[in-house]
């Protein structure tokens, strides 16, 4: 049903959601964030690929004007032109070559690599590049000729210290590519990233100084997952954290999943080769706990997106935009800081917890390696050469995930019992009560 001005003005996003989308029809929708910021989005399909473009915010852009813009965008698509690229070109022409922004040049670099006949970027690499770019968005609207070395360095140092050295290295490399493009096209004369080659706070990580991705301490699993379960974070992020712990999948592998990758009958989630480090697709078992979470997410998406289909992302509020790569990291970090638990952990560290648990439970080493996307090995060189690279040990891995889920459930139950015991002790003891 088309929107009316009263609906647009009163539209709100529930506090427990990251955003809510209101559909006007024919691709036009109003996106309302948790902060109640309203923006117009136009969805379109070009070359069998779904896209969306922001055309401005409400009330700056009223409903009538948004509908006029929808007509213009649809006409461009009908002519085979990408509205996003056209928008960037117009912006660049207005600003002038010397004032082209970092964001505009990033898109130009990406488009050039995608369209190049010698392009070596896989779909997975393109998506990972997009994740990396998310950390550089604070300078997206800055004309590259006006970007100072100090501002760039401050941002890169902040990424290194607060997100991680690996992500910082990727951001620095991406900025170098952006600068190289700008130099080759006579927009600027120098690549500033070269000045950071010997910067001690921005140096590349060597094998000796790689920091381990810290897992949740085994004796704090119950407490941590109770905090996650009872937190105010949205279900998308909450379920992603649980599923990452059950499966030991890499964060980007899980978050790139779409509904078409989920086989409810066979109880598996297909992780495509472009999102797998070893470039071989994985059929990840889907245990009951995960299936229940998937059902909740699907119903929520279908309520907010009347054009929902199986190409939508699983871990998404509306199916249109996948959960950002850093969202689980950030949510977990904030939660642990808020409750002052005294330790830090990152989702990538969940893989270590899973591996340790599965080894202690004496699951097959080859099955563990398949689930972790490691090179197949039994641990015995004399038999390794006989291991089939096509064997996926699905049944064994299903048991592994069920075992991990039981560990979490039992840990949460033990923590709840401990909390009850302490509470009862405090209420019955005059000393503890005071």
Phi/psi for 216 (5° steps) reads -70, 130
Supply the angle between the helices 102-115 and 165-184 in degrees, to the nearest 10: 80
pLDDT > 70: percent of the chain? 85
Which residues lie below 8 Å from residue 40, measured CB to CB, with a gap of 6+?
28, 29, 30, 31, 54, 55, 56, 57, 58, 61, 66, 69
Supply the angle between the helices 327-338 and 235-247 in degrees, to the nearest 10: 100
pLDDT number for residue 410: 94
* Matching CATH number, 218-433, of 1.10.443.10, 2.40.160.20, 1.10.375.10, 1.10.3210.10: 1.10.443.10
The torsion region of residue 322 among left (phi > 0), alpha (psi -120 to 50) and beta comes to beta
pLDDT digits (tens, 9 = 90+) for 326-352: 788 888 988 998 888 888 898 988 999
Locate CATH 1.10.443.10 in the chain: 218-433
Per-residue burial over 250-265, b if 16 or more Cβ lie within 10 Å, else e, is bbbbbbbbbbebbeee
What are the CA-CA distances from residue 11 to residues 3, 16, 20, 21 (Å)? 10, 15, 9, 9
Q: Which residue has the higher pLDDT, 128 or 55?
A: 55
**3-state class (DSSP) for residue 391:** coil
Fold classified for 82-211: DNA polymerase; domain 1 (1.10.150)
The CA distance from 180 to 202, in Å, is 19
Q: Which residue has the higher pLDDT, 291 or 393?
A: 291
Task: Tell me the pTM.
Answer: 0.54
Are 176 and 102 within 8 A, CB to CB? no
Locate CATH 3.30.160.390 in the chain: 1-81
Whether residue 388 is predicted with pLDDT greater than 80 in this model: the reply is: no
Fold classified for 1-81: Double Stranded RNA Binding Domain (3.30.160)
The CA distance from 400 to 411, in Å, is 17
pLDDT digits (tens, 9 = 90+) for 156-185: 988 887 777 778 888 898 999 899 888 877
Mean pLDDT of 359-383: 77
Locate CATH 1.10.150 in the chain: 82-211
pLDDT digits (tens, 9 = 90+) for 73-116: 888 888 777 776 655 554 444 444 445 889 888 888 887 776 65
């Amino acid at each position: 049903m088309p929107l009316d001005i009263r609906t647009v003005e009163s539209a709100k996003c529930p506090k427990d959601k990251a955003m809510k989308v209101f559909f006007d029809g024919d691709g036009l929708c109003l996106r309302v964030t948790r902060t109640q910021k309203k923006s117009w989005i136009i969805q379109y399909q070009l070359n069998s690929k779904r896209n969306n473009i922001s055309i401005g915010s409400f009330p700056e852009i009223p409903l009538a004007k948004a509908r006029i813009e929808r007509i213009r965008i649809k006409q461009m698509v009908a002519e085979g032109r990408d509205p996003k690229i056209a928008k960037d070109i117009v912006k660049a022409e207005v600003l002038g070559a010397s004032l082209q922004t970092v964001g505009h040049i990033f898109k130009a670099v990406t488009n050039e690599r995608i369209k190049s006949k010698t392009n070596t970027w896989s779909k997975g690499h393109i998506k990972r590049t997009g994740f990396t770019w998310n950390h550089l968005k604070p300078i997206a609207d800055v004309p590259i000729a006006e970007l100072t070395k100090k501002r760039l360095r401050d941002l890169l140092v902040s990424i290194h210290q607060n997100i991680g050295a690996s992500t910082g290295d990727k951001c620095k490399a991406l900025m170098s590519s952006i600068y190289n493009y700008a130099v080759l096209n006579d927009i600027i004369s120098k690549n500033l990233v070269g000045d950071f080659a010997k910067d001690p706070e921005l140096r590349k990580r060597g094998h000796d100084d790689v920091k381990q991705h810290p897992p949740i301490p085994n004796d704090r699993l119950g407490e941590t997952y109770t905090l996650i379960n009872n937190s105010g974070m949205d279900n998308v992020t909450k379920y992603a954290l649980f599923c990452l712990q059950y499966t030991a999948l890499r964060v980007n592998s899980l978050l790139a999943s779409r509904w078409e990758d989920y086989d409810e009958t066979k109880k598996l989630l297909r992780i495509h080769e472009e999102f797998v480090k070893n470039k071989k697709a994985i059929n990840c078992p889907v245990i009951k706990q995960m299936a229940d979470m998937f059902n909740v997410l699907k119903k929520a998406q279908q309520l907010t997106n009347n054009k929902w289909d199986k190409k939508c992302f699983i871990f998404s509020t509306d199916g249109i935009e996948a959960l950002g790569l850093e969202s689980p990291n950030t949510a977990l970090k904030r939660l642990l800081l808020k409750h002052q638990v005294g330790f830090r952990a990152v989702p990538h560290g969940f893989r270590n917890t899973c591996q340790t648990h599965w080894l202690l439970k004496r699951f097959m080493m080859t099955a563990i390696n398949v689930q972790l996307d490691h090179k197949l090995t039994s641990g015995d060189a004399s038999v390794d050469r006989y291991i089939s690279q096509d064997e996926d040990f699905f049944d064994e891995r299903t048991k592994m995930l069920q075992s991990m889920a039981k560990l979490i459930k039992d840990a949460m139950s033990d923590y709840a019992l401990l909390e009850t015991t302490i509470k009862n002790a405090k209420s019955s003891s005059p000393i503890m009560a005071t």
